[in-house]
C-alpha cells in the first residue's frame, strides 16, 4: 500500500476512532476509488452468533474432572448466548451428531498446533475469525514466551467480546490486539496485511494463524483470498491451523488448493484420527 494512503488512513483512524478497514474505505471513497460498502449486518450477526455454541461446549469442558478434559477454558462460560436467536441457533448446533466432540477435538488439536509453533520459535499468533476463542489468555505458553496475539473478527463481534471481558473485570491483556475486520472484501490480502500491521504485527515475521470454524461461513473467493493473505502476512515458515469440511474447496481437494497457493500440507486430520489420538477407547 502506498505510504501516502497509509498515512491518510492512520490520520482518519486517529480522528474518527474507526477501525482500519472502515477508515480505508472512507479514504478510498474520498478518492473516488470505491464506494463505502454497506455492511450486511443481519447475516454477519447470525454468523457471529455461531461462536456462542462453541463457547458453551468449551465451558462444559471446564466442568469435567481434570483427567477427562481435553483442554481448559475458564473464560468460555462468560459467553452464554445473549439473545433468543442466539440460543435457538446454538440449540440447532447441539442437535447435530458429534457436534460436542467435534468441537472438543478440534479445540485440543489446534491448541497443540499452537504449542508446537511456539516451541518452534513462532511469536505471533493470529486468530482469524476469533469469535470467543480465548487462546491468547488461556494458553500458559503464550504468556510464558511473550507471544503477541492478534484477534481478527468483525468490529461488532470484537466489541461484544471486549464488553463482556470488561464487565467480568478482565482488563485487556497487554499481549492481545483486537483487529476489527470484514473478510468479505475485494482486496483481502492487502487490507488484512494493512490492518494487522497497524495493530503492530511484524509482516513477514513468522506467524501461526488459527482459522477455526470460519471456512464454512465465507465464499470461495474469500477462502482463496484468506490463504493468499496469510502467505503474504506470515511469509516463509508461517503456519496455519484450520478446520474444513468435505467440499469446502469446491471441486478441488483441500490439498490441491493448498499446493496451488504455495502451502505445504503438514498433516490433515480427520475427526476419526483425532478421536483415536485424544479419546482412545
Residues that bind ligand SAM (CB under 6 A): 47-48, 50-51, 54, 129-133, 153-154, 157, 181-184, 212-214, 217-218
CB of 201 to ligand SAM, least distance (A): 17
CB 266, min distance to ligand SAM, A: 20
Q: What are the phi and psi torsion angles at 134 (to 5°)?
A: -115, 25
DSSP SS3 for 133: coil
The nearer residue to ligand SAM, 61 or 153, going by C-beta atoms, is: 153
The residue (of 20 and 132) whose beta carbon lies closer to ligand SAM is 132
Buried b (16+ CB within 10 A) or exposed e, 104-136: bbbbbbbbebbeebbeeebbbbbbbbbbbbbbb
Question: Which of 132/209 has CB closer to ligand SAM?
Answer: 132
CA separation, residue 14 to residues 8, 88, 191, 192 (Å): 10, 39, 18, 19
* CB closer to ligand SAM, 13 vs 158: 158
**Nearer to ligand SAM (CB atom), residue 181 or residue 249:** 181
At closest approach, how far in Å is the CB of 61 from ligand SAM? 13
Residue number, nearest CB to ligand SAM: 131
Q: Is the distance from CB of 258 to CB of 231 less than 8 angstroms? A: no
Which cell goes with 197? 500491521
* Cα 145 from Cα 123, distance rounded (Å): 7
Q: Minimal distance in Å, beta carbon 55 to ligand SAM?
A: 7
Cell 489446534 locates to 110
Smallest gap from Cβ 159 to ligand SAM, in A, equals: 11
Please state, in angstroms and rounded to a whole number, the distance separating the CA atoms of residues 100 and 128: 22
CB of 236 to ligand SAM, least distance (A): 25
Three-state SS at 125: strand
- Residue 7 Cβ, how far from ligand SAM at the closest point, in Å? 26
Cα gap 237→239, rounded to integer Å: 6
Q: Which is nearer to ligand SAM, 118 or 130 (CB)?
A: 130
Residue number, 21 or 124, with CB nearest to ligand SAM? 21
Contacts of 165 (CB under 8 A, 6+ apart): 75, 78, 171, 172
Amino acid at each position: 500500500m502506498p505510504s501516502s494512503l497509509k498515512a491518510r488512513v492512520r490520520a482518519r483512524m486517529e480522528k474518527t476512532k474507526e477501525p482500519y478497514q472502515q477508515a480505508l474505505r472512507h479514504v478510498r471513497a474520498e478518492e473516488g476509488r470505491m464506494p463505502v460498502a454497506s455492511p450486511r449486518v443481519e447475516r454477519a450477526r447470525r454468523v457471529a452468533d455461531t461462536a456462542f455454541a462453541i463457547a458453551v461446549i468449551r465451558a462444559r469442558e471446564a466442568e469435567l474432572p481434570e483427567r477427562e478434559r481435553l483442554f481448559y477454558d475458564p473464560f468460555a462460560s462468560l459467553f452464554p448466548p445473549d439473545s433468543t436467536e442466539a440460543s435457538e441457533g446454538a440449540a440447532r448446533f447441539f442437535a447435530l451428531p458429534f457436534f460436542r466432540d467435534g468441537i472438543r477435538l478440534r479445540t485440543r488439536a489446534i491448541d497443540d498446533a499452537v504449542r508446537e509453533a511456539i516451541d518452534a520459535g513462532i511469536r505471533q499468533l493470529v486468530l482469524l475469525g476469533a469469535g470467543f476463542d480465548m487462546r491468547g489468555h488461556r494458553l500458559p505458553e503464550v504468556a510464558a514466551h511473550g507471544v503477541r496475539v492478534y484477534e481478527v473478527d468483525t468490529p461488532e463481534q470484537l466489541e461484544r467480546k471486549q464488553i463482556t471481558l470488561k464487565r467480568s473485570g478482565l482488563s485487556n491483556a497487554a499481549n492481545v490486539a483486537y483487529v476489527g475486520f470484514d473478510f468479505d472484501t475485494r482486496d483481502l490480502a492487502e487490507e488484512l496485511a494493512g490492518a494487522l500491521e497497524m495493530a503492530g504485527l511484524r509482516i513477514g515475521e513468522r506467524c501461526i494463524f488459527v482459522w477455526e470454524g470460519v471456512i464454512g461461513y465465507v465464499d470461495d473467493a474469500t477462502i482463496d483470498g484468506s490463504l493468499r493473505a496469510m502467505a503474504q502476512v506470515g511469509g516463509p515458515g508461517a503456519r496455519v491451523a484450520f478446520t474444513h469440511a468435505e467440499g469446502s474447496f469446491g471441486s478441488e481437494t483441500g490439498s490441491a488448493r493448498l499446493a496451488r497457493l504455495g502451502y505445504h500440507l503438514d498433516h490433515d486430520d480427520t475427526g476419526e484420527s483425532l478421536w483415536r489420538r485424544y479419546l482412545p477407547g
